Chain A
Amino acid sequence: MGILPYVVVAWVLVCGLYGIATSRHLVHQIICLVVVQSSTYVLLLSVGYKLGGIAPYFSDVPAHVRAVDPVVQALTLTDVVVEAAVTALLLAFAIQAKKRFGTVDPLELRQLRG
């Protein structure tokens, strides 16, 4: 149990990297980047977890109850927002690549540029 979350992180990370390396479509490649980035969410959240801790929301529990780390959760939120921004920009570039070069295959794109 102790290292299981970190194994999951590594697994998700490697899956995404494998997808990026072998991808034959720009949109597929962008989605793989999202997968890579989701491994960082798992890492951040599992680093901040405390055994038996509750979510850091004290609406109906007293303030001294043991709760998980809110700082890494806020960082994860930032991570998600940045990922959304990056994905949107990359998708726009993918459309541009399709229009300019007529292909969305990263390998063919490389050939075109010579």
Chain B
Amino acid sequence: MASFYLWGMTGLPPFGTYRGPYGTIVNRVSVPDTHATGVVSVVNFVFRGFDTVGEEFILFVAAVGVALVLRHLREDEEVEGKDAAPGLDVPPTSEAVRLIALAFTGPTLVVGWFLATHAQTDPSGGFQGGVVIASAVVLIYLAGQYLSFRRLNPVDVLDSVEAAGAGGFVGVGLGTLAVSAPYLADVVPLGRVNGAVDAGGTIPFISLCVGVEVTAAFLLITSELLEQTLFLKEG
């Protein structure tokens, strides 16, 4: 294996002297073409837009898979009876943890929203923003408010929100088809100012859809996993 690795490494360019054509071209054309200044987002949502649809559906299918495996288990549990981890004695959440978690919930939510809506200008986008928003909701759980967490995460609603996010991305693509442009092409006005919030054509819309999808997917995964933990404790 080591020799294979070394053999592969000999083909790589020396560190810091990369001469690949794509990066250079993309860096040159992105800003004039899309008026978006975050070139990584341009690559993800414009040049590789169709790929990112697939990527989003990987996450979608994973969340559905987790829900499927764990819900199936929950039904088993009711038939088979107890399977609690013995001696699992969890101390109550300390006041300090609760205070810090609650204090950070609001700012985390704001940061997540900012990230999800600024894909076109900053190193951010729907994937990052979605994860941050989901962790804001998990902070509520950390603060010991499991009931509020449950109320914020009605699983049926999450399922449909996730589907809506995934569908929204595809919908943006189909919308561009509807005005007879290529799939996911930039048809929205590009915005006058490079790097403004309204720059980048379809990028902000796609990013927001991805944000919704990722938030719902991660909340679904975490709430299914938490459900299991609590199930073990109760059982």
Q: Encode B1-35 as 1/0 by CB contact (under 8 A) with A.
A: 00001000100111111101011101110111000
Cβ of A93: which chain B residues have Cβ within 8 Å of it?
69
Shortest CB distance B123–A (Å): 6
Contact between A82 and B15 (Cβ–Cβ < 8 Å)? Answer: no
Chain B's closest residue to A6 (CB) is B9
Query: Does B70 lie at the interface of the complex (its beta carbon under 8 Å from any beta carbon of A)?
Result: yes
Q: Which residues of chain B from 34 to 65 have a CB within 8 Å of any chain A CB?
A: 37-40, 42-44, 48, 51-52, 55, 58-59, 61-63, 65
Contact between B37 and A59 (Cβ–Cβ < 8 Å)? Answer: yes
- A50-B31 Cα distance, complex, nearest whole Å: 20
Cβ of B187: which chain A residues have Cβ within 8 Å of it?
none
The secondary-structure label for the interface of chain A is helix
Residues of B near any A CB (own CB < 8 A): 5, 9, 12-18, 20, 22-24, 26-28, 30-32, 37-40, 42-44, 48, 51-52, 55, 58-59, 61-63, 65-66, 69-70, 73, 76-77, 83, 121-123, 125, 127, 131, 194-195, 218, 221, 224-225, 228
Cβ of A105: which chain B residues have Cβ within 8 Å of it?
none
Query: Does A10 lie at the interface of the complex (its beta carbon under 8 Å from any beta carbon of B)?
Result: yes
- A1-B224 Cα distance, complex, nearest whole Å: 46
- A99-B231 Cα distance, complex, nearest whole Å: 12
Contact between A88 and B66 (Cβ–Cβ < 8 Å)? Answer: yes
Chain B's closest residue to A85 (CB) is B62
Q: Which residues of chain A from 1 to 24 have a CB within 8 Å of any chain B CB?
A: 1-6, 10
Cβ of A91: which chain B residues have Cβ within 8 Å of it?
66, 225
Partner of A95, one of B12, B26, B73: B73
**Chain B CB within 10 A, most for which of A1, A74, A77, A89:** A74
Q: Which residues of chain A from 63 to 99 have a CB within 8 Å of any chain B CB?
A: 63-64, 67-74, 77-78, 80-82, 84-86, 88-89, 91-93, 95-96, 99
Contact between A99 and B62 (Cβ–Cβ < 8 Å)? Answer: no
Contact between B40 and A77 (Cβ–Cβ < 8 Å)? Answer: yes
Shortest CB distance B225–A (Å): 7
Query: Does A107 lie at the interface of the complex (its beta carbon under 8 Å from any beta carbon of B)?
Result: no
Contact between B66 and A77 (Cβ–Cβ < 8 Å)? Answer: no
Cβ of B77: which chain A residues have Cβ within 8 Å of it?
99
The secondary-structure label for the interface of chain B is helix
Query: Does A51 lie at the interface of the complex (its beta carbon under 8 Å from any beta carbon of B)?
Result: yes
Interchain Cβ contacts under 8 Å between A and B, 21 examples:
A5-B15, A48-B18, A48-B23, A49-B18, A56-B38, A56-B40, A57-B38, A58-B37, A59-B38, A67-B27, A70-B42, A71-B22, A77-B44, A78-B44, A81-B58, A84-B59, A85-B63, A86-B62, A91-B66, A92-B65, A96-B73
Chain B's closest residue to A51 (CB) is B16
Contact between B194 and A58 (Cβ–Cβ < 8 Å)? Answer: yes
Contact between B55 and A56 (Cβ–Cβ < 8 Å)? Answer: no
Contact between A92 and B23 (Cβ–Cβ < 8 Å)? Answer: no
- A34-B80 Cα distance, complex, nearest whole Å: 33
- A81-B58 Cα distance, complex, nearest whole Å: 9
Partner of A89, one of B20, B65, B73: B65
Query: Does A37 lie at the interface of the complex (its beta carbon under 8 Å from any beta carbon of B)?
Result: no
- A46-B37 Cα distance, complex, nearest whole Å: 22
**Chain B CB within 10 A, most for which of A47, A48, A95:** A95
